Structure 1
Amino acid sequence: MESAALGGQQQMPRFESGAIVAECLGSWWVKAYVERRKAQVQVWRSMALKSLRLLFALLVGLTLLFTLSTELTYRVGVHGILNQTLNKSLFVWPGHKALISGSQGLAVNFNQTLLSYAAIQIGEAEERQQIGHLLDASSASYDAMERRYGGRGRSITYRSDRDLDLRSDLRGRGSSRNRIPVQLLHPRYANYWPVFRRALRSWVQNKRFEPTVMAELIDLVKVPLDEHYMKVSLAEQQRSGNPLDSRISYRPDQQAFPLNQAGQRRGYRSCAVVGNSGILLQKPHGPLIDSHDMVIRLNNARTAGFQNNVGSKTTLAFVNSNILHSCSRRAGCFCHPYGETVPIIMYICQAVHFMDYALCNASHKVPLLITDARFDSLCARIVKYYSLKNFVETTGKHPEEWSSAHEGSMFHYSSGMQAVMLALGICEKVSIFGFGKSGQAKHHYHTNQKFELKLHDYEAEYQFYADLVNGSQYIPFLSEAGIKLPPVQIYF
């Protein structure tokens, strides 16, 4: 019994040991199975990642290949349009397929696209809103200030929050480009505000696209200039003791203003538009420039010391309104580097500069003209057309991407471009000097400026001049309006 009991007690440990062994074996098997499954999962995951990477690389490669091929096709298409060697069916731009039979049809389609995008005036609504605020601030708010402070010649100081609010209202809202400088709100300027508002309203009313304004430039510009120079000539004759016939009329009639065979007033026989490029210093064009009937110079660039290269004669100063703004700070608003008898014509950069016009026009004894807003709009569209054309041709991108590459609403034509356009409207023959650039020349012959302004696209303007010189049968917006242009020659 005892033996049996002892035997039973000895067998129990063997049974427990066997269970433990089995349990250990089972645990080891489970762990081994789990580790094996983990290893398999890692292998499958690695294979899947490699497959995905390969697939991704393949997709990227195909995308790049498709993009490059499409871009190449597009660029070939654009060059084909320009060189008239286009295949019958091409992409007009990436993502927009236009199957048009014949190169002429596609060229027309491409041109219409450029015309449409050139007609988009970025920021026009905002500009008109700012001008509206400017007109309101210069009338109602100024009257309120006069009633509050009263008395002409009294200096204005602002002490309270209410005064600061009034000053804010007077200066107008929106962009600082069109805010009224607070110093101009002094009562001593009261007499100029009616002139300011009248000129600004007239300019805004004409702010529309009307290419036929080119045919009106002789009446708008040449007639006032002729009247002025006839009076100057008469005064000189009287000072010399040999007065002109008193029967000569200074009205725009046939005697004072000769007509052409079509019965229209004639333009100047020859005009020289003198730019400010440093390339002028490379050639002695001075005598040739002075031989023209009309010599137009830009932004008051000085001629003293450069006469052999740029000439000395000036019959019209073409400036942007920033130049007149600087002149308005001088005594008597002096802005006549070419002589006090030389008229000035300017285009408006900022609407608030009409106050500078009001100030200077009151003291100037010569015509101070402002370019017609219709003329400004026409110049803007033409330059934008050439800029779009150049952008699309060189980059192969969609015209909608042009704005981000060209300062958007800040993009503007140069003074030189508009001066050339003016000459096309008032001259029978146009010569262009000082337009272009060279690696060895300064940006301006009379300054140390070396870089171009980003808000201009000079390359686009050079293409415009090249078309004029080559007598191109098509000039955007002018050809559609039936405007005939005089011969143009450019001197480098």
Structure 2
Amino acid sequence: MNLMKFRWILLFVIVLLVFWYNYMTKLAGSGGDVKSSLSLPGYVRITPGKMDQFLDIHNKQCALVSSSGQMLNAGLGKEIDKADFVIRMNNAPTQGFERDVGNKTSLRVVSHTTVPWLLKNEIHYFQQSASTIYVIWGPENKMRQDGKGPIFNALMKVAKKYPNVKLYAVTRKKIQDCDNIFQNETGKNRMQSGAFLSTGFFTMILAMDICDNIQVYGMINDSYCGQVKHKRVPYHYYEKSWIDECRMYNAHEKARHGGHRFITEKAIYARWASQKHVYFKNPSWAL
């Protein structure tokens, strides 16, 4: 009888040890933070001394504000600022355009080519707007972490100078995942077709990663530029003398090398929107 009790106790202890071992293994794999298992490993924080912190945010309702000239005279600023979380792209300003695009900025998705513009006004972006999250994407030769990535090196200097800044880099694997998504959606290999993914593409992917509901402002659909009476606006709302938006889109769509596929990307967004909670305003889309 005592032997049977001993065997049951031993079995119970073994089961407890197995559960404890599995728990500690998961804990170690998450960098010591159980919550990080819910984070997004495709976006790693740029901070001195370590690169093991991932973006960990979730929002029920987001506003994604395009940099398009469609936002001029839209008068949507107050509506945008009511959103729980406001996402903008690159260095698109709010000052002077508050009535149309709002003032609130929760997160910016920034291209490696735009980083120098942020550095020129670093006090505004990294000190005065310290609450804003910055997610930077770029090719491996610009973002490598072995001391030979010029954009990554510049961002690390910013992180050291402004300890409170929230800088994140899109990982190489995440960029490859985005390439695969583009190929799955279009049937074309991005690199072989000579295309570059746009900041808008990375922004839409990120928004779907962190938001339950996305209200997109100022983004045209894939057939807009083919309409005879489409509205002619500047490519960016803050560059009034810049090239017409549709002229820019068409030029990139036809480029054999180095062009963004803006129109193709819009067709992809339309498919995603029909399956997810993504809604387009100004102009509205008929999905």
Range into which the TM-score falls when normalised by the shorter chain: 0.5 to 0.7
Q: Report the counterpart of residue 463 of structure 1 in structure 2.
A: 267
- For the 8 Å contact 2:207–2:214, the answer to whether it is kept is yes
Please provide the CA RMSD for this pair.
3.4
Q: Report the counterpart of residue 215 of structure 2 in structure 1.
A: 431
Q: Secondary structure of the equivalent of 1:446? A: coil
- For the 8 Å contact 1:218–1:425, the answer to whether it is kept is no
Aligned residues: 210
Q: Secondary structure of the equivalent of 1:288? A: helix
Q: Report the counterpart of residue 487 of structure 1 in structure 2.
A: 277
Q: Distance in 1 between matches of 2:83 and 2:43?
A: 15
Q: How does 1:314-463 map onto structure 2 within 5 Å?
A: 314-328=105-119, 330=120, 335-336=125-126, 339-349=129-139, 350-351=142-143, 352=149, 353-364=151-162, 365-388=164-187, 406=193, 408=194, 411-436=195-220, 438-447=230-239, 448-450=241-243, 451-452=248-249, 453=252, 454=255, 455-463=259-267
Q: Secondary structure of the equivalent of 2:58? A: coil
Cα distance change of structure 1 residues 305 and 331 upon mapping to structure 2, 3 Å threshold? closer
Q: What letter matches 2:232 in structure 1?
A: Q
Q: Secondary structure of the equivalent of 1:322? A: coil
Q: Secondary structure of the equivalent of 2:279? A: strand
Q: Distance in 2 between matches of 1:321 and 1:373?
A: 13
Deviation at 1:417, TM superposition (A): 1.4
Q: Secondary structure of the equivalent of 1:269? A: strand
Cα distance change of structure 1 residues 462 and 307 upon mapping to structure 2, 3 Å threshold? same
Deviation at 1:292, TM superposition (A): 1.1
1:32-76 C-alpha deviation (Å, 9 max, x unpaired): xxxxxxxxxxxxxxxxxxxxxxxxxxxxxxxxxxxxxxxxxxxxx
Q: Report the counterpart of residue 61 of structure 2 in structure 1.
A: 270
Q: Report the counterpart of residue 192 of structure 1 in structure 2.
A: none
1:187-227 C-alpha deviation (Å, 9 max, x unpaired): xxxxxxxxxxxxxxxxxxxxxxxxxxxx9784448998xxx
Q: Distance in 1 between matches of 2:75 and 2:110?
A: 24
- For the 8 Å contact 1:299–1:317, the answer to whether it is kept is yes
Cα distance change of structure 1 residues 463 and 427 upon mapping to structure 2, 3 Å threshold? same
- For the 8 Å contact 2:136–2:170, the answer to whether it is kept is yes
1:133-184 C-alpha deviation (Å, 9 max, x unpaired): xxxxxxxxxxxxxxxxxxxxxxxxxxxxxxxxxxxxxxxxxxxxxxxxxxxx
Rg larger for:
1
- When normalised by structure 2's length, the TM-score is 0.63
- For the 8 Å contact 1:275–1:433, the answer to whether it is kept is yes
Q: Distance in 1 between matches of 2:117 and 2:92?
A: 14
Q: Which has the higher contact order (CA 8 A, sep 6+)?
A: 2
Higher helix share: 1
Deviation at 1:299, TM superposition (A): 0.4
Deviation at 1:386, TM superposition (A): 4.0
Q: How does 1:57-76 map onto structure 2 within 5 Å?
A: none
Deviation at 1:338, TM superposition (A): 7.2
> Identity of counterpart residues, as a percentage?
22
Higher strand share: 2
Mark the runs of 5 or more structure 2 residues left unpaired by the alignment: 1-35, 46-53, 144-148
Q: Secondary structure of the equivalent of 2:182? A: helix
